[in-house]
């Protein structure tokens, strides 16, 4: 207490975390923290939720400001932080009730100075909340060592005033006392109603802020999911266009080769015809021999392009299915985002599983196509087994070991001679695809020349 000045209230700062008190300090201590005189290592690199309290001499809370403050890695507060706490608590509306008394509250949803809202936080001040009760209990425990005014002189003065009032009332009669009592009761009721209205307005503002934050979070989540869907869709679309362009180039190349072969055949037939005219050669026999040789060369030269074209068509069909699936998922996410942002997205996988179950009920079968093999029918009841272990399932249906079937499948997808020649380079000669049961590992995937070489090595050994 200073000379000629009697202190009428205290100021304190409380740091909160998970609905409990982390630390208490007097406002003078908090000012020392702001000035960099002392640090707070336990709050380093954190954004703390704190409460500035104005307290009377009997440790009753008069007002509260719920504010945020950042600490760096050394536990020092942000030097740019500047919040007029005393002004905010003095201008705070009496919007909450604590122990039957109205107190002033300043928070994010209730701030008389709008440009300070970003430095405030929103406490839970609903009817069942214990936030204010926790603060009051912490102050009543008086861990800060505050001096408490016993209020005896006030009671003596109040007693004297009461005696004077009783004497006055006795003088004027019982009617005057009734009017005074009724007026006091009305005033108390009005104060209670005003405090109740302010408290409910604060609760509504707090709930509104929480709802807006939840809605904003959902909107951001849906925006991220939609953006990811769009990226996947664009990638699949680009891949599909690249595959389609490759297919067109391959088809043009096949057409050019066919034209070249036709021209070669015409030239060769013209040469044969001239040879018959000059030397009397059997033209019909030569023509038959040439056509046989021509067909063999045509098959060899176009086989590679045909297989490559088939693989590109399969890739294009796969990409087209992916694009359709992505489009459907994108439309579902967009519809959910436009219609009901507060609800979660539904799973398209469940719908597809239901469709498979409906196909099973109808007795539908699925067909697997493989090179050099008749289409393999897969009953709907075996679809789950096939999806879980496709290699083992198909190998069992074909009567092969899984390893043998896996080797055949690798060879059938790219039927070229795998024998290594000079400098680690493969032979690359095109092969005819044999049926799985005729496939011999490490032999059928070799050309005839290298098969003979392998046979000679085995006989020599």
pLDDT digits (tens, 9 = 90+) for 180-217: 667 777 767 766 666 666 666 677 777 777 777 788 88
Residues 239 and 331 in one domain: yes
Residue 351 CB-half CA count within 13 A: 7
Residues 109 and 255 in one domain: no
Residues 389 and 330 in one domain: no
Residues 31 and 130 in one domain: yes
Residues 131 and 37 in one domain: yes
Q: Which two tokens stand for residue 139?
A: 């102050």
Residues 105 and 151 in one domain: yes
- Euclidean distance between CA atoms 445 and 438, whole angstroms: 11
Residue 153 lies in a domain: yes
The pLDDT tens digits for 149-168 are 765 444 444 554 445 555 54
Which burial class, exposed, middle or buried, applies to 184 when counting CB atoms under 10 A from its CB (0-12, 13-18, 19+)?
exposed
Q: Is the pTM higher than 0.75?
A: no
Residues 91 and 122 in one domain: yes
Residues 15 and 159 in one domain: yes
pLDDT for res 345? 42
- Euclidean distance between CA atoms 259 and 268, whole angstroms: 14
Residues 377 and 438 in one domain: yes
Number of domains into which the chain is organized: 3
Rg (C-alpha) for the chain, rounded Å, is 45
Domain boundaries, position 154: 9-165
pLDDT for res 81? 92
Which burial class, exposed, middle or buried, applies to 179 when counting CB atoms under 10 A from its CB (0-12, 13-18, 19+)?
exposed
- Euclidean distance between CA atoms 238 and 254, whole angstroms: 25
**Cα 446-447-453 angle, rounded to 5 deg:** 80
Residues 67 and 154 in one domain: yes
Pure H helices in 280-379: 283-339, 348-361
Per the document, the length of the chain is: 461
Residues 271 and 341 in one domain: yes
Residues 257 and 395 in one domain: no
- Euclidean distance between CA atoms 346 and 330, whole angstroms: 12
pLDDT at residue 123 greater than cutoff 60: yes
The answer to whether 241 and 135 have CB atoms below 8 angstroms apart is: no
Among 165, 194, 217, identify where a domain stops: 165
């Amino acid at each position: 207490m200073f000379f000629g000045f009697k202190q009428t209230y205290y100021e304190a700062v409380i740091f909160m975390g998970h609905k409990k008190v982390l630390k208490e300090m007097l406002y003078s201590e908090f000012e020392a923290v702001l000035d960099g005189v002392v640090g707070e290592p336990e709050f380093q690199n954190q954004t703390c939720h704190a409460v500035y309290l104005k307290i009377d001499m009997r440790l009753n809370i008069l007002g509260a400001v719920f504010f945020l403050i950042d600490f760096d890695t050394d536990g020092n507060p942000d030097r740019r932080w500047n919040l007029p706490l005393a002004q905010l608590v003095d201008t705070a509306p009496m919007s909450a009730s604590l122990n039957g008394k109205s107190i002033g509250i300043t928070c994010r949803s209730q701030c008389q100075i709008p440009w300070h809202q970003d430095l405030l936080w929103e406490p839970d001040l609903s009817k069942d909340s214990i936030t204010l009760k926790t603060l009051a209990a912490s102050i009543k425990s008086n861990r800060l060592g505050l001096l408490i005014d016993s209020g005896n002189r006030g009671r003596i003065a109040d007693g004297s005033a009461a005696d004077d009032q009783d004497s006055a009332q006795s003088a004027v009669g019982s009617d005057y006392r009734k009017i005074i009592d009724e007026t006091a009761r009305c005033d108390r009721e009005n104060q209670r109603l005003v405090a109740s209205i302010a408290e409910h307005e604060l609760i509504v503002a707090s709930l509104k802020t929480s709802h807006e934050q939840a809605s904003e979070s959902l909107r951001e989540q849906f925006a991220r999911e939609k953006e990811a869907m769009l990226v996947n869709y664009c990638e699949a679309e680009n891949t599909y266009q690249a595959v389609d362009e490759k297919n067109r180039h391959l088809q043009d190349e096949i057409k050019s080769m066919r034209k070249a072969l036709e021209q070669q055949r015409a030239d060769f037939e013209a040469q044969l015809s001239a040879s018959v005219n000059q030397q009397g050669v059997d033209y019909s026999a030569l023509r038959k021999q040439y056509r046989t040789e021509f067909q063999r060369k045509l098959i060899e030269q176009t086989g590679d392009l045909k297989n490559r074209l088939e693989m590109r068509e399969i890739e294009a069909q796969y990409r087209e299915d992916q694009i359709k699936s992505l489009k459907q998922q994108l439309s579902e996410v967009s519809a959910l985002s436009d219609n009901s942002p507060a609800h979660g997205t539904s799973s398209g996988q469940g719908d597809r599983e239901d469709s498979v179950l409906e196909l099973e009920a109808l007795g539908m079968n699925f067909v697997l196509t493989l090179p050099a093999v008749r289409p393999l029918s897969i009953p709907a009841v075996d679809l789950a087994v096939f999806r879980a272990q496709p290699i083992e399932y198909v190998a069992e249906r074909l009567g092969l070991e899984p390893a043998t079937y896996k080797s055949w499948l690798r060879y059938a997808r790219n039927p070229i001679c795998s024998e290594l020649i000079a400098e680690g380079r493969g032979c690359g000669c095109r092969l005819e695809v044999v049926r799985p049961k005729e496939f011999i590992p490490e032999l059928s995937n070799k050309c005839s020349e290298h098969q003979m070489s392998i046979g000679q090595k085995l006989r020599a050994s």
